[in-house]
Chains A and B, each alone.
Chain A
Amino acid sequence: MPVGPQEDIARAICTDKWDGERLSPSLFVGEGTSVSRLALIPLADHWDLFRRYVEQPPERRLEMIGEINVGRLQELGRNYATPIELTVEPKPEDWNPAHAEIPQRITRGLANKILPELKLHRPPPN
């Protein structure tokens, strides 16, 4: 059953997709974009969770976490020039029971509409 529009989802943003100035649209381009449900695991706990799993190789660092509401994401899809019905499907994994995916193919143009809507979180100070 798809994740409800009231939920918020998070996407890890690592050094390959952020150079200190710009975000890479490829964060959302394509099919099967990985996200994580903040209703199941709070944002504060995602830092350690993501770091353990996504910092491969060690030179790839978790820089930020991008957050967006599922309903807002769906609205962006519906209002795009080529409308698309986006869904977020739960896909729990061993390393992250809150893991989910956006199965639809997101075009570069639509990804460019999603990026500015992300609420960006920086790592908490140690």
Chain B
Amino acid sequence: MTSFIPTGHFSPYRVSDDLREDRIGPAVHVPAPGEADREQLLLTKLGPRGWGRLHHFRHYYQPGWGERHGRQLSPRALEGFFRFLAAAKFPAGKVPSIFLTDSGGLELAWEDADGKAVQVEFTSQGAEFYVAAKETEGQAPVEALAQLAAQLAV
């Protein structure tokens, strides 16, 4: 005699209503598609310190942080930051610093091969940059961030 294990949709377990997937609230972090690649990019270019700092800025700094008027990290600034980071090349041995600005932007700061400051601030409109070696400041729209990265590369 041959026996079969019952198949079909029967499940011995029942998930209570509060644990059903459609009940997961915003407090539960569900990684966005491609987020693993972005985290890897962060670790590669900014190291564990940069990775940890961005994690803090994204998850702990709510509107009104700091002296009560800090803005939450802008999703568009974050998007621009990753676009730039993917194309950026930093001098060997120089790991850029990442900062959160009061207006909800992200700022990257490092030094060129001659030790002069290079800075890019990502905002919801694009980026503002500063190159100390040339004493120049400028702006770039989101679409031009990969070009800006190439321009600032060593």
B-binding residues in A (CB < 8 A): 14-17, 19-22, 24-26, 29-30, 34, 53-54, 56-57, 59-60, 81, 107-109, 112
> Which 6 A-B pairs have CB atoms at the shortest separation, nearest pair first?
A24-B99, A22-B97, A108-B130, A16-B100, A26-B101, A59-B60
Q: How far is the CA of A21 from the CA of B110 in the complex (A)?
A: 10
Are B107 and A54 closer than 8 Å at their CB atoms? no
Binds A, one of B6-14, B20-28, B63-71, B79-87: B63-71
Instruction: Note all chain B residues with C-beta closer than 8 A to A29.
Output: 101, 121
**Interface residue? B128 (CB, 8 A):** yes
Question: A-B contact count, CB below 8 Å?
Answer: 69
Are B61 and A24 closer than 8 Å at their CB atoms? no
Q: How far is the CA of A108 from the CA of B33 in the complex (A)?
A: 35
Instruction: Note all chain A residues with C-beta closer than 8 A to B62.
Output: 57
Are A112 and B117 closer than 8 Å at their CB atoms? yes
Minimum CB distance partner of A27 in chain B: B99
Are B109 and A25 closer than 8 Å at their CB atoms? yes
Are B99 and A26 closer than 8 Å at their CB atoms? yes
Are A24 and B135 closer than 8 Å at their CB atoms? no
Are B109 and A109 closer than 8 Å at their CB atoms? no
Show 6 A/B contacts (Cβ-Cβ < 8 Å), sorted by A: A15-B56, A19-B49, A26-B99, A26-B101, A60-B61, A109-B130
**Interface residue? B112 (CB, 8 A):** no
Are A19 and B53 closer than 8 Å at their CB atoms? yes
Are A16 and B57 closer than 8 Å at their CB atoms? yes
Q: How far is the CA of A17 from the CA of B98 in the complex (A)?
A: 9
Q: How far is the CA of A107 from the CA of B61 in the complex (A)?
A: 25
Least Cβ–Cβ distance between A126 and chain B, in angstroms: 24
Least Cβ–Cβ distance between B103 and chain A, in angstroms: 8
CB neighbors of A among B82-130 (8 A): 97-103, 107, 109, 117, 119, 121, 128, 130
In the complex, besides A24-B109, A112-B132, 9 extra interface pairs with C-beta distance below 8 angstroms are A14-B66, A19-B99, A24-B107, A26-B101, A29-B121, A30-B102, A57-B60, A57-B61, A112-B130
Interface centre among A17, A26, A53, A112 (most CB of B within 10 A): A26
Least Cβ–Cβ distance between A18 and chain B, in angstroms: 8
CB neighbors of A among B29-83 (8 A): 49, 53, 56-57, 60-62, 64-68
Are A81 and B135 closer than 8 Å at their CB atoms? yes
Assess A54 versus B97: contact at CB under 8 Å? Given A25-B109, A108-B130: no
Q: How far is the CA of A29 from the CA of B120 in the complex (A)?
A: 13
